[in-house]
Structure 1
Amino acid sequence: MSGIVVVDQRSDWPVHVPGFEVVTAWDYLTQEELTRARKMRVYNLCRSFGYQTTGYYVSLLAGARGHKPLPEITTIQDLKLADSSRILNDEIDELIQKSLARIGSAEYVMNVYFGRPLARRHERLARALFNQFPAPLLQAKFSYRGDEWRVDNIGPIALGEVPASHLEFLYEAAQDYFARRRAPSRRRESSRYDLAILVNDDEKEPPSNARALKSFEKAAEDLGFDVEFIDKSDYGHVAEFDALFIRETTAVNHHTYRFARRAAREGLVVVDDPLSILRAANKVFLAQLMERHRIPQPKTVLLHSRNVKLAGRDLGFPCVLKQPDSQFSKGVIKVESEAEFRRKAADMLERSDLIIAQSYEPTDYDWRVGVLDGQPLYACRYYMAKDHWQVVKRAGNGAIVEGGHETLDVKEVPAAVLNVAVQAARAVGEGLYGVDLKQFGKVVKVIEVNDNPNIDHGVEDLVLKDEIYRKVMAYFIKRLEQRTREQSR
């Protein structure tokens, strides 16, 4: 994807940025060469974004042409809404208070240039403002009222409104920002699409290890993607891509969900999509979904404050309690008696009005079937950790002990296991899922459906090897080509 900086007059932007061309707004709006350009990043630095001004039309028509503008027309409109400052106050209040704590006056104005402030102590706050409202030039006005700082107003600022003393810093921030973007000269000629892979280098138990991520990158490039690994600080850049692959553990009240939501809203092909995150992240929803579709699961009770006294006796002991948003064996406990059941259930119900209680049905291993686009992708047996009832045993000191694993060709997996896994995954959606199951002879029961399932080098890829990564990337290609056909109708 090529990149251009759009200004009202060429003299407005005297700095040369390698790999980016400076064009006037009028040329961008009227020249056929730019009108028909297929894939292009458009950095809109016009002097005004007022309704139906030239700057407004640059971002508006960039969207119509399939280009990737910054700011997008939706960002311009969002910044005009009366509640934009309220949203910021609710979202980043703690950061506002911490960043402005040492300000001596009752008012403060912060200009944010490509996500950066002049004062380094405000860098985190500036990045948060940019992530919420991705625009090259932002101005936020704060006031100290009562005993706290509040955002009074936030909006885009025109290039002509930037103080002369700030221009050198602005040019530096822009060059740093562009340098982080992939320059056109680095792109391979075979690249058809841009793929972002969201990762967290600090995550202790990521869904894909480093070797797997490299394999995903190679498979994507082989199929025509230009790949960039991004992290949570890149929220403002999501719309610059065609597809987003989340390889960081997802949660609803988390930046991964916000990334997925924004990617879907911008028309990207995204895995995991926000609806899958919402559904798979909540075990209460999954239990009801399995029941509705008549997919077998262990005996399950929807537990709340009014039935907690009777539910344990109905299930028998031991039984299992599950926090709705539990992951990786966390928030899932086995209780041995009615007294323990009531005590632990009460603790969980402090955090959620509904939780899940299930009968305890021990097995030597759990099945995990990876399902992609409604078809089995891989199958593993995960064995219970030594002297433990789960696959993962977590010690009080933070140590983790895992059971062994065995990866099988899906052709070798019992048909009943595959059938139930596919049914469960299709009930959630059409993306990538890991379905956990227990098998008792010919009886198969779903334990849970996970979005964002593990695909690690040396575990899930042992049978398919490089082909597992290629299949996932081929799914993105399929969805992107389908989207292109639908848009051309």
Structure 2
Amino acid sequence: MNKYLVVNKPENWNISLENVRVISAKDYLTKPEFSRQKKARVFNLCKDYSYQSKGYYVSLLAEARGHLAIPTVKNIVDLREPKLVKIVSDEFDDLIQRSLKSIKSTEFTLSIYFGQNVAQKYKELSAMFHRHFQIPFIRVKFNYTNKWNIKSIKALSEVEIPGEHLPYMRDFAIQYFAKKRYDTPKSESYEYDLAILIQEHDPAPPSNQKALKKFAEVAEKMNFYVEFVYPKDLSRLSAFDALLIRQSTEVNNDAYAFARKAQQEDIAIVDYPDAILKCCNKVFMAEALENAGIPTPRTIIVHKDNRNKIIEKTGLPLVLKSPDSTFSFGVKKASTPEEYETLVGEMLKKSELVIAQEFTPSDYDWRIGILDDKPLFACRYYMAKGHWQIYNWDAGKKDDREGNADVMSIEEVPKKILNAALKSARLMGKGLYGIDVKEVNGKPLVIEINDNPNIDFGVEDRFYGDKIYIEILTALKNRLEKKTQ
């Protein structure tokens, strides 16, 4: 397996690492030789892991390409989320107190390089943090009140490492890359307690009020105790056996924090944090679909070095998508070169990478609901009145914001549409997905893979009725029962 150390400036890495090639983040993100490789291990030492930075995309695209990334996107997001840092660090408490008991001051900083600290007495503590967060360079700050507490945890860039630590860091790197393996980490009358996460004033809720009521009614018949919870209730999640997310999902919102905590505490969940991370980024999706050979409209990942060559490949009009766009937010159409320049310039200020896609007009999009690799429902969503998308958030009248929908049995769906949807969902793993597919000249083109798809009363449930709710809740019950076997 090829091993790559991905850094911002390879010229600064003048150490000899056996069987590890040092490359730039820019080369890994943009050169075809890396996107085409089927097996690789990627060690991401970029100076910045912030959302939509080069460091973030190195790990994201590594996963899309089927490469093994250290750190993973999940590791990066965990480190940035204070609530999640607290959750995973609570279990360190005994080790923290034991390791720091001899320190006389009220503040202490621990720098960790490839799982080690320059002082051997912090070896166990450093290794523990590294196993949990998988970030090559970490700085942990502690303060003391009545005991030692974690004040902050952040990823370090190479330029932030003190000069006197650099020889140690290089020795630790040589030791690390010489290894063969790399560390990776109710009411009594009811059978189970179920939390359904919703958000007040959600701009695009995945379930309407009647659907939420139906979920609760069906769940209670299936012997779940049901309680609707809100973002402020994260600390209460441990009291439940299962979590159903029915609020909008994004990497930076509370739904991800709930999903991650549920996963850490072995709470059954629909849907998994991995699904949120992957489906919420169109760059990951584009690479994953291309590598799997799934047909899509002509799609190009745009960056500052190729932005002037896009129109000649996609033609005009073209569609530009922010990596984290959902429900048609952050999706724009450029009909002229001037519009393209304005839109792509604005988007590249917010993200290192943007998606450009060939414009493929159609009267409707197929939406195939997939649950744990099986078809759940089938719809055709028609474009909003006088608009090129299903949603038109700029429409003056609320009734004109979204188009109509046809609902039908799975058996009525053309086989090529259904097969494309099933193959796409498998890229994301088990879970609940809505696959959007256009049919152009008799050919299916996958537009998006959506985690946490709409389940609205009177729309997605129109053909199968209560069966939709029963299937989703049964999936949760199956997850619970699998844990007890």
TM-score, with structure 2 as normaliser:
0.63
Deviations 1:276-314 (A, max 9, x none): 000000000000000011111000001000000011121
- Structure 1, 332-341 or 371-380: larger mean CA deviation: 332-341
State the secondary structure of the residue aligned to 1:421: helix
Deviation at 1:201, TM superposition (A): 2.3
Determine the structure 2 residue equivalent to 1:77: 92
Amino acid paired to 1:366: D
CA distance in 1, matches of 2:275, 2:436: 16
Determine the structure 2 residue equivalent to 1:194: 193
Q: Is the 8 A contact 1:416 1:442 kept in 2?
A: no
Amino acid paired to 2:452: N
CA distance in 2, matches of 1:154, 1:209: 47
State the secondary structure of the residue aligned to 1:239: helix
Q: Is the 8 A contact 1:369 1:418 kept in 2?
A: yes
State the secondary structure of the residue aligned to 2:375: strand
Q: Is the 8 A contact 1:371 1:425 kept in 2?
A: yes
CA distance in 1, matches of 2:145, 2:214: 42
Q: Is the 8 A contact 2:395 2:401 kept in 1?
A: no
Deviation at 1:205, TM superposition (A): 2.1
CA distance in 2, matches of 1:237, 1:261: 14
Determine the structure 2 residue equivalent to 1:445: 445
Determine the structure 2 residue equivalent to 1:28: none
State the secondary structure of the residue aligned to 1:263: helix
Shift in CA distance, 340/195, structure 1 to aligned 2, threshold 3 Å: same
- Structure 1, 414-423 or 223-232: larger mean CA deviation: 223-232
Deviations 1:298-353 (A, max 9, x none): 00001000000011121100010000000111110110112221221011000000
Q: Is the 8 A contact 1:434 1:453 kept in 2?
A: yes
CA distance in 2, matches of 1:396, 1:380: 23
State the secondary structure of the residue aligned to 1:211: helix
- Structure 1, 257-266 or 204-213: larger mean CA deviation: 204-213
Percent identity for Structure 1 against Structure 2: 42
Determine the structure 2 residue equivalent to 1:297: 296
Shift in CA distance, 78/256, structure 1 to aligned 2, threshold 3 Å: farther
Task: Note if 1:325 corresponds to 2:324.
Answer: yes
Deviation at 1:151, TM superposition (A): 9.9
Shift in CA distance, 77/346, structure 1 to aligned 2, threshold 3 Å: same
Determine the structure 1 residue equivalent to 2:309: 310
CA distance in 2, matches of 1:413, 1:156: 62
CA distance in 2, matches of 1:324, 1:73: 28
Determine the structure 2 residue equivalent to 1:163: none
Paired residues, what number? 323
CA distance in 1, matches of 2:87, 2:255: 21
Determine the structure 1 residue equivalent to 2:285: 286
CA distance in 1, matches of 2:262, 2:397: 34
Amino acid paired to 2:413: V
Amino acid paired to 2:402: E
State the secondary structure of the residue aligned to 2:350: coil
Q: Is the 8 A contact 1:80 1:155 kept in 2?
A: no
CA distance in 2, matches of 1:73, 1:447: 36
Q: Is the 8 A contact 1:79 1:155 kept in 2?
A: no
Amino acid paired to 1:344: L
Counterpart mapping for 1:81-92 below 5 A: 81=96
CA distance in 1, matches of 2:459, 2:441: 25
State the secondary structure of the residue aligned to 1:381: strand
CA distance in 1, matches of 2:336, 2:375: 39
Deviation at 1:153, TM superposition (A): 5.0
State the secondary structure of the residue aligned to 1:456: coil
Amino acid paired to 1:77: F
CA distance in 2, matches of 1:338, 1:73: 49
Deviations 1:127-150 (A, max 9, x none): xxxxxxxxxxxxxxxxxxxxxxx9
State the secondary structure of the residue aligned to 2:235: helix
Q: Is the 8 A contact 2:87 2:261 kept in 1?
A: no
Q: Is the 8 A contact 1:436 1:448 kept in 2?
A: yes
CA distance in 2, matches of 1:469, 1:402: 24
CA distance in 2, matches of 1:333, 1:268: 38
Amino acid paired to 2:90: T
Counterpart mapping for 1:358-369 below 5 A: 358-369=357-368
State the secondary structure of the residue aligned to 1:207: coil
Shift in CA distance, 238/415, structure 1 to aligned 2, threshold 3 Å: same
Determine the structure 1 residue equivalent to 2:244: 245
Shift in CA distance, 79/464, structure 1 to aligned 2, threshold 3 Å: farther
Q: Is the 8 A contact 2:204 2:327 kept in 1?
A: no
CA distance in 2, matches of 1:73, 1:345: 38
Deviation at 1:195, TM superposition (A): 1.1
Deviation at 1:224, TM superposition (A): 2.1
Task: Note if 1:259 corresponds to 2:258.
Answer: yes
Shift in CA distance, 383/155, structure 1 to aligned 2, threshold 3 Å: farther
Greater C-alpha radius of gyration: 1
Deviation at 1:386, TM superposition (A): 1.4
Counterpart mapping for 1:167-246 below 5 A: 184=187, 187-188=188-189, 191-246=190-245
Shift in CA distance, 339/234, structure 1 to aligned 2, threshold 3 Å: same
State the secondary structure of the residue aligned to 2:332: strand
Q: Is the 8 A contact 1:420 1:446 kept in 2?
A: yes
CA distance in 1, matches of 2:366, 2:395: 27
Aligned Cα root-mean-square deviation (Å)? 2.7
Deviation at 1:409, TM superposition (A): 1.0
CA distance in 2, matches of 1:307, 1:241: 49
Deviation at 1:442, TM superposition (A): 2.8
Structure 1: unaligned runs, 5 residues or longer: 1-70, 87-149, 158-181
Amino acid paired to 2:279: A
Amino acid paired to 2:376: L
State the secondary structure of the residue aligned to 1:402: coil
Q: Is the 8 A contact 1:321 1:356 kept in 2?
A: yes
Amino acid paired to 2:305: R
Q: Is the 8 A contact 1:296 1:444 kept in 2?
A: yes
Shift in CA distance, 440/483, structure 1 to aligned 2, threshold 3 Å: same
Amino acid paired to 2:447: I
CA distance in 2, matches of 1:203, 1:385: 20
Q: Is the 8 A contact 1:79 1:154 kept in 2?
A: no
Q: Is the 8 A contact 2:363 2:383 kept in 1?
A: yes
Q: Is the 8 A contact 1:303 1:357 kept in 2?
A: yes
Shift in CA distance, 73/274, structure 1 to aligned 2, threshold 3 Å: closer
Determine the structure 1 residue equivalent to 2:7: none
Deviations 1:409-440 (A, max 9, x none): 11111111111001101111110001111012
